């Protein structure tokens, strides 16, 4: 997999990110508010806020927004909010994100065999 020039993820891990979120929340005594329902609502709400930034924009306008440092700040903030809730949900519920992602990719390899899905945006039940 190739990464874009701007992508500079380093050796920090998902566990490092989860620990960062955990410490932030525990310092504020927020565990009491972070049940599965409310964390799932947080994921959906923040995802909708990210989506709203692109509403009524052409593909070209969206790409301009992402590549313009001054305009991409809101996008980055909303993406971080989504990531925060995903990490917190996993941390609070003992979910290994790498493991569940790996399992889902294995399922999708079966649903989307290369010979049928390469270059296609059809859903697996449309093959």
- pLDDT tens by residue, 65-111: 999 998 999 999 999 999 999 999 999 999 999 999 999 999 999 99
Domains of the chain: 31-114 (1.10.287.1080)
**pLDDT score of 11:** 79
The pLDDT, as a whole number, for residue 8 is: 65
The distance in angstroms from the start CA to the end CA of the chain is 26
82 within 8 A of 46, measured Cβ to Cβ: yes
Q: What is the mean pLDDT of residues 39-50?
A: 98
Task: Please write down the HEC assignment for all residues of the chain.
Answer: CCCCCCCCCCCCCHHHHHHHHHHHHHHCCCHHHCCHHHHHHHHHHHHHHHHHHHCCCCHHHHHHHHHCHHHHHHHHHHHHHHHHHHHHHHHHCCCCHHHHHHHHHHHHHHHCCHHHHCCCCCCHHHC
């Amino acid at each position: 997999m190739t990464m874009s020039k701007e992508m500079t993820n380093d050796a920090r891990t998902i566990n490092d990110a989860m620990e960062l979120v955990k410490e932030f929340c525990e310092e504020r005594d927020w565990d009491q508010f972070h049940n599965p329902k409310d964390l799932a609502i947080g994921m959906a709400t923040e995802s909708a806020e990210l989506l709203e930034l692109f509403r009524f924009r052409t593909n070209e306008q969206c790409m301009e927004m992402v590549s313009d440092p001054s305009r991409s700040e809101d996008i980055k903030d909303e993406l971080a909010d989504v990531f925060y809730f995903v990490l917190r949900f996993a941390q609070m519920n003992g979910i290994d994100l790498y493991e569940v992602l790996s399992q889902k990719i294995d399922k999708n390899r079966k649903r989307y065999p290369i010979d049928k899905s390469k270059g296609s945006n059809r859903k697996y039940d449309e093959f």
